[in-house]
Structure 1
Amino acid sequence: MLRTVVVGGGISGLSAGIALRRAGHVVNIYEQSDMKHEVGAAIHVPPNASRFLTSWGLDPKLSRFVKARALAWCDPFTTNAKATMSYEEKAAKSGGAELWLAHRVDLHNALKRIATDPAGPGIPVTVHPGSRVVGYEPGAPSITLASGEVIEGDVVIGADGVHSLASETVLGYKNRPVAPSYYNYCYRFLIPVSTLQADPETRSWNADIDGMTRIFADNENRRRLVAYACRDNTIHNFVGLFYDEASTHSAKKEDYLASVDKAEVMERFAGYHPSILAVMKSVLPPPSPASHPVPAEDSSQAYSCHSKATDVMRWPLLYRPPTPVWRKDRLVLVGDAAHPMLPHQAQAGAQAMEDGVALGIVLRGVSTPEEIEERLELYQRIRRNRASVIQILSNVGSDQSHLVYEDLKEFLAEEDIPTNPSEIADFNFGYDIVKASSEAVHQLTETSTPPPNRGISNAAADHHANNLVDSSQLTAVVH
């Protein structure tokens, strides 16, 4: 039984905590916020994550998730659908599970419940809110809190987000962001379905919204709007992406709290169909946090929107290249600390959860420092290439993978590189992290040689699934 110290109580930290708890370890999570007033927007929970979340006991209906049914690429000037893909069929065929559209707060609350529920397997995770970490010692391993208290453990997991001190400790330098070449700014806002229904100009948005994602892409001018409903189809989530040449070098960090004026948003999407612009027309003063508290996933992405285009938030989309190393001694990275992603693939949360599952499987039954380091190296080999591919693909839309094709060759064999939306969905959804991690542990224990650094391909898990030894113990992390 290991003493595991997790820094960060977001999606990646809670997922790691759940998997490590189920692997039989003691888990303490240290989170700098009070975790009482979390906010956030919507998030995709794709089949590569929903598959094991249901095994953990997550109930999508109880959490008010919406089952994704279809994706439509729409003409931004007419709103007519130009191409469609059935999410329902693709998720079932490629991933064998459902794709959910969720409010980030609802997902976070579900993970927190599963992590701390006394009725679950293993020892419940202990969460320490209001605990800001100011230092890491990978060799001990230990963390130092702002209070001066030193917390020691057998392994430390850095789940401290995009501005990760853990990553800086592992690398020995900051993984500094750069402006991406294709989309460098983003607007996000949430609007209740009831608000759009009350206005004849926007009422059409509520037609056929159940499980429908729409992308209004103007690739010629490098701008697009993504829209889908979440929380039992009661809230519309809007994401506006665009490229601003004048601001390319002015953004120094991801300022998620930058409010913008309605006129700016209208100007960015000038020429779009009137029904789209109507959504953005009426900007009301944002409600005060005191009068309208909204729970959030993490403060770095905090905002709340309760009326038509209320409190539209803008932030720079800054790209960080794949992290070359994910561990140092017994300190290891997960989530945004390991692979910060832009929003285009809607996989950041899923990849963070895959990290947690992999850690739980590779650390099951491990007790000595030597074993821990060997297994953390295996974790990196399992996760780095896949996460890096998705990180690179996240720079562009799923219809633009040709723009990053050359960058993908470092992490994926050329014949395996997905080149269109359908292939990307297969790559993302079809991967089974439980089988892939179990197969990698089996190879390590049988041969004492980790798998090659090309990583585990999408097909590898199914190819070797029936050859696993003692798989009941390995997959107990999930089941």
Structure 2
Amino acid sequence: MSSDSERSPVPLRASLAIDFLVVGGGIAGLASAVALSRAGHRVLVLEKSDGLRNRRAGGVRIPPNMSKILFHWGLKSDLRRIALTSQPILFSRFEDADLLGIQLWDNELLRDTQGEFMLTTHADLHDLLYETAIGQGAKIRNNAEVVAIDCDNSSVELASGEILTADVIIGADSERGISRQTVIGQEDRGTFIGLSMFDATFSTAIATKDLTPELAQIINVEGGTVYMAFGNGCAASGYPIHQHKEVAFHFILRDDRPDGAYGDPPTGDLASRVPDPCDTRLRLVANLSTNAVRVPIKDYADLQDWIHESEKLVLVGQAAHPFPPGSIQGTAMATEDAAVLAKLFAHLSTRDQIPSFLWAYQDLRLGRCTSVRNTEVSTIAWMTMENGPEQRMRDDGMRAKFRAGKNVMEGEDGEEDAPQWEEIRTIFGYNCEDEADNWWIKWGLLREHAKETGGVRSPWRESNRFDWGNVAIRVSENVGE
């Protein structure tokens, strides 16, 4: 754990502590446990697996908008122990490793975000959050599968028949879990888009063998280089993990099988799905990989509400807003969800605040997550662009900037940056905890004052959803009072 000198400031703790049941012990569930425990609440996490099956070996990228949260939670030194800091991004063609260019992180941008772009594994991040949650006082039960949620009684039933109750139930059990199904009233299988992501790790020594002289001059294996390869309807990315001893790969490939999920046994289909022609190193990884897991990419309809009508169950992470597998921001959005929930519930003083805090959470998060997910989906489409005029325009533009010694995603002098880069800058710079604090200052305190004095009509409908049209302030004529 972090040293005393790097511990976070003492967090605000709620004057009224309540009980939270978290369904799902993945990153979203553990982040929720850490955040809410820091805010003084009692948290029990229920994980259906043995605690090992939901820890996958594949890579995870931690963007600045996520790392800044973990830093604030006092985990900076722990992250530096398990993660590498990303430096340049190298772009090439999937078919032949033809170099398209490089993109260096803007140091000023990273300073402004108050975070770093870091590279680690899902298992290492999971272990860190698990240990932190336990250290904060949360309880975690493995082999505790939730088979039913009774929102009216704020309870869950385990496969063993045991009934557990809480003040609030948090659904952190993914897009396939019982929590999302309970909120929308039916199972949501999503729509397969004909692409799958294959998640694999591989030896660095083998993956970087026989580099071309051009690439050898640019790549510093010890420097945290992220590799991106664009192909005809396919793409691949790779980045160092485990202190540069391994490389995590994400292959996005055409596929006709909609089955597969994290936690499944490794598949032998990666090699057959990688098209020819192919960069010899990518082909080597595909042919020799023994731990690739297939996860189909599906499109899910946006939910109108993440909160059950009983106002006892709320969704976080993939259960609320499924991101494509392998996307940069999926894990980050789950962590932001947890941070915002905790920031709001740190102000809890009476139980009648619970519904309003839940709806405030949704109001703060739904638009943000929808926008970021749309960016991630657009990025996949941009990376897997089929060969043709648009693809050639993209590649030729990147090559021209590289030859001119420029970052390939940034605009020419006097021009705007590439849309993808502008969106990334905006996403990285967002501070979800500041947004939650601003909500409390602007509306939470106003609502509390309204309850006490009746001088301000609450901007919340009877359902506790925020209603901007109901904001009205009555000015007292007795100014001196």
Shorter-chain TM-score range: 0.7 to 0.9
Amino acid at match of 2:307: R
- The equivalent of 1:304 in structure 2 is none
Which amino acid is 1:319 matched to? D
How many corresponding residue pairs? 399
Q: 1:384 to 1:402 in 2, by over 3 A?
A: farther
TM-score by length of 2: 0.76
Cα pair 1:155 1:330 within 8 Å, conserved: yes
Query: Post-superposition, which runs of at least 4 consecutive aligned residues in structure 1 deviate over 6 A?
Result: 201-206, 450-454
C-alpha distance in structure 2 between counterparts of 1:217 and 1:357, whole Å: 34
Would you say 1:158 and 2:158 are equivalent positions?
A: no
Q: Give the distance between the partners of 1:267 and 1:339, measured in 2 at CA.
A: 28
Question: Structure 1 pair 421/63, CA: closer, same or farther in 2 (3 Å)?
Answer: same
How far off is 1:6 after superposition?
0.9
Partner Cα separation in structure 1 for residue 219 and residue 88 of structure 2 = 14
Structure 2: how far apart are the matches of 1:72 and 1:145? 48
**Residue in structure 1 matched with residue 63 of structure 2 by the alignment:** 46
Is residue 113 of structure 2 the alignment partner of residue 100 of structure 1?
Answer: no
Deviation at 1:26, TM superposition (A): 0.8
The one of 23, 27, 33 aligned to 1:11: 27
What is the aligned partner in structure 1 of residue 203 from structure 2? 192
Once the 2 structures are TM-superposed, how far is the Cα of residue 24 of structure 1 from its aligned partner? Answer: 1.0
| 1:315 alignment partner, SS class | strand
Q: Which amino acid is the alignment partner of residue 336 of structure 1?
A: Q
- Residue 60 (structure 1) shift: 4.4
CA distance in structure 2 between the partners assigned to 1:445 and 1:196 by the alignment: 53
**Which of 205, 223, 233 pairs up with 1:222?**
233
- Does 2:46 align with 1:30? yes
Contact 2:95 2:276 in 1 (8 A): no
Q: 2:122 and 2:367 mapped to 1: Cα distance?
A: 26
**Separation in 1, partners of 2:437, 2:162:** 37
User: Scaled by the length of structure 1, what TM-score is found?
Assistant: 0.76
Note the alpha carbon deviations across 1:254-296, whole angstroms, 9 max, x for none: 476364446x625623112223323334x3xxxxxxxxxxxxx
How far has the Cα of 1:239 moved from its partner?
1.1
Please give the alpha-carbon distance, in whole angstroms, between the structure 2 residues aligned to 1:69 and 1:332: 37
Give the 5 Å matches for 1:453-468: none
**Offset of residue 402 of structure 1:** 13
Hey, what does 2:295 align to over in structure 1? 315
Aligned match of 1:275 = 281
1:67-78 aligned within 5 A: 67-78=85-96
CA 1:67–1:28: 2 relative to 1, 3 Å: same
CA contact (8 A) 2:254 2:273 kept: no
User: 1:116 — aligned with what?
Assistant: 134
- Alignment partner of 1:317: what SS? strand
The equivalent residue for 2:191 is 178
Cα distance, 1:57 vs structure 2: 2.2
Identity percentage of aligned residues = 23
Which of the numbers 60, 66, 84 marks the counterpart of 2:84?
66
Contact 1:3 1:25 in 2 (8 A): yes
Structure possessing the higher radius of gyration over alpha carbons: 2
Which residue is equivalent to 1:144? 157
Deviations 1:187-210 (A, max 9, x none): 22111224447x658998895132
**Contact 1:7 1:159 (8 Å CA) reproduced:** yes
- Write out per-residue CA displacement over residues 60-102 of structure 1, whole angstroms, 9 at most, x where no aligned residue: 4553201011212212344243232223637515522211011
Given the superposition, is the C-alpha separation of residues 35 and 158 from structure 1 closer, same or farther in structure 2, using an over 3 Å criterion? same
Deviates more, 1:270-279 or 1:350-359: 270-279
- 2:305 paired residue among 297, 322, 325: 325
How far apart, in 1, do the equivalents of 2:52 and 2:242 lie?
20
Is the Cα contact below 8 Å between 2:169 and 2:312 reproduced in 1?
A: yes
Q: Which moved more, 1:108-117 or 1:61-70?
A: 61-70
Measure how far apart 1:400 and its partner are. 2.8
2:425 aligned with 1:426: yes
2:139 to 115, 126, 133: 126
Give the partner amino acid of 1:442: I
Deviation per residue, 1:89-138 (Å, 9 max, x gap): 37515522211011111111111111111xx5xxx101111111011122
| Structure 1 counterpart of 2:331 | 349
Kindly state the Cα deviation for residue 216 of structure 1 after the two structures are TM-superposed: 0.7
1:330–1:419: structure 2 CA closer, same or farther, 3 Å change rule? farther
